[in-house]
Chain A
Amino acid sequence: EPEVTQTPSHQVTQMGQEVILRCVPISNHLYFYWYRQILGQKVEFLVSFYNNEISEKSEIFDDQFSVERPDGSNFTLKIRSTKLEDSAMYFCASSDDRGLAGELFFGEGSRLTVL
């Protein structure tokens, strides 16, 4: 069964450092998302991406965050200068239907710890 894969599974970084989280969505999917979850609690929307551009972003997704689809398979989330409060589990998701009935398929997550 096709799945969304994420790397790394866990990253520890110092405050102020840049971090890149990588995702390989399901191959025929067209819509891509990043969510985050702090301390196993609420799942928060960060950004959605379609046709090589951001389609929607939340207020969490400020200038320190960026996303990119550098080739036909990877979808990355970059945090330019990490803060302590960026510590969370980051989930990538993909969907083959936009704004319609399609559910999101999630990866297993990348745990980011900022010291």
Chain B
Amino acid sequence: AQKVTQAQTEISVVEKEDVTLDCVYETRDTTYYLFWYKQPPSGELVFLIRRNSFDEQNEISGRYSWNFQKSTSSFNFTITASQVVDSAVYFCALKAAGNKLTFGGGTRVLVKP
């Protein structure tokens, strides 16, 4: 069985602060994929990134960066110099055997001006 844990339910920061969202996963499969999605108040889940289990390279995309560490089963997400538009719920998700997407509980990020 797969499991994704996002221990932080809500994070509040002031604009321009950095914020790191934690994601810890469990799976017995050696081949799996990890995803991050953003859900703004409008409701749509926006795909942000995909990482496969064989690629431990960290990735940076603009103000977003991701740190994948297989040794600790973690796939953390950092927003640098946060902006009000970053306010949303962020979900980490895992896809392994069975092909179903297993979501974490989500972390609500509130960026105050």
Question: Are the chains A and B members of one assembly?
Answer: no
A interface list, Cβ under 8 A from B: none
B interface list, Cβ under 8 A from A: none
